[in-house]
Amino acid sequence: MAARKKRADSKKDAKKDSKKSDVRSTGAESPRAKAASRATNRSSNGGGGAKWLYGGAFVLFGVIAAVVVAQGGPTRRERGPDGDTRSETTNDDTTEVTPVAPRGAVEIPEALRVRVVERRPHDTSAFTQGLLWHDGELYESTGLEGESTVRRVDLASGEVRQRIDLDEAYFAEGLALVGDRLFQITWQDGKAFVYDRRSFEKVAEHAYEGEGWGLCWNGTDLVMSDGSDRLFFRDPETFAVRRTVRVTKVGRPLRYLNELECVDGKVWANVWQRDEIVRIDPTTGVVEATVDASGLLTPQERRRTDVLNGIAWIPERRRFVITGKLWPWTFEVELEPR
């Protein structure tokens, strides 16, 4: 219960932060717009009649527009002199962060949304922390001390076909499958458990520093989140960190990365306390796409549940299954442009 409260407390901070970042995003005015405005003003100071004045401004505008297009089109913005003013309003955490996006290029993510194809039952006592799809079934990790489990679940009925309960000392988090080994991490216990996929027998255990939130397997590394803007790439044999990357969205750190899914070389993450899923380039940490997953639950269902958490990719159908903590449903969804 203490753990649940702790999450609720930090929820307030998350909300404050999200407000801050909203302010920052609206304040990021293109330097070009300012330059264009200055140029137009200068041209209007010259002598001559109204025709010259309008004609001159028109030509200047045309030249500026041509330069803008030649420099990279509408999806990229240059980091201008006012780029620094953003950091004045950031908090302590973000000022330490070195942007990982190439200097001068800030990518605007593709805007997607979910379209529900199927809604199916989900165990409302499952505090979902990890979700993956393998061979026609879901594998799920649930959290909270005394309620943490690993389970194999029938997607159609939501029926739990196999489960083990963890020692009540542990608060389980993300889950990933490497061959026939299931890796399950824990929130603040610094332990990763490895199970045989079929028997759920524990076959290994690893220790690590820091918190554990989400986990996925990209074929080479276990990718792990810890609630910050960082992703850790770990060796599945030793659990040692091979490298890390900081995730940025429109040039700013994106924190609270939670449950993960590795799909076709990209890392997908749902963001804690938001109905948002992002697609991340694992090399640069840049968010390439953002998915609006709001509106899956009714307001009444929302009151009885916790946050969206749990994304699993079904490669055969090229769709995601999405659920959340204590949610009554899983949603099989397709992604479409917003």
Name the residues that contact Ca ion, by CB under 5 A.
131-132, 261
Q: Least Å distance between CB 268 and Ca ion?
A: 8
Q: Which of 114/132 has CB closer to Ca ion?
A: 132
The rounded distance, in Å, linking the Cα atoms of 248 and 101 is 7
User: Which of 331, 332, 301 shows the shortest CA–CA distance to 318?
Assistant: 332
**In terms of CB distance, is 132 or 293 closer to Ca ion?**
132
Query: Counting runs of H as helices and runs of E as strands, what totals does the chain give?
Result: 6, 24
Q: Minimum distance from CB of 315 to Ca ion (Å)?
A: 13
User: Helix (H, G, I), strand (E, B), or coil: what is residue 90?
Assistant: coil
CB of 313 to Ca ion, least distance (A): 8
For residues 85 and 93, what is the distance between their CA atoms, to the nearest angstrom? 16
Q: Based on CB atoms, which residue is closest to Ca ion, 267 or 297?
A: 267
Between 251 and 324, name the residue whose CB sits nearer to Ca ion. 324
Q: What is the smallest separation between the CB atom of 207 and Ca ion, expressed in angstroms?
A: 23
Asked if residues 252 and 101 have their Cβ atoms less than 8 Å apart, the reply is no
Residue 102 CB, nearest distance to Ca ion (Å)? 29
* DSSP code for 296: S
Q: CB-wise, 43 or 218, nearer to Ca ion?
A: 218
Q: Closer to Ca ion at the Cβ: 250 or 267?
A: 267
* Residues 178, 185: Cα–Cα separation, whole Å: 14
Q: Is 309 within 8 Å of 273 (Cβ atoms)? A: no
CB 128 to Ca ion: min, Å: 10
Report d(CA 144, CA 4) in Å as an integer: 7
Please check whether residue 192 is in contact with residue 183, taking contact to mean a CB–CB distance below 8 angstroms: yes
Strands (E), 2-74: none
Minimum distance, C-beta of residue 84 to Ca ion, in the bound complex (Å) = 37
Residue 327 is which amino acid?
W
**Chain position whose Cβ is nearest to Ca ion:** 261
Residues 297, 115, 322, CA angle at the centre, nearest 5°? 55
Give the C-alpha separation, 174 to 215, whole Å.
5
The smaller minimum CB distance to Ca ion, of residues 277 and 287, is found at 277
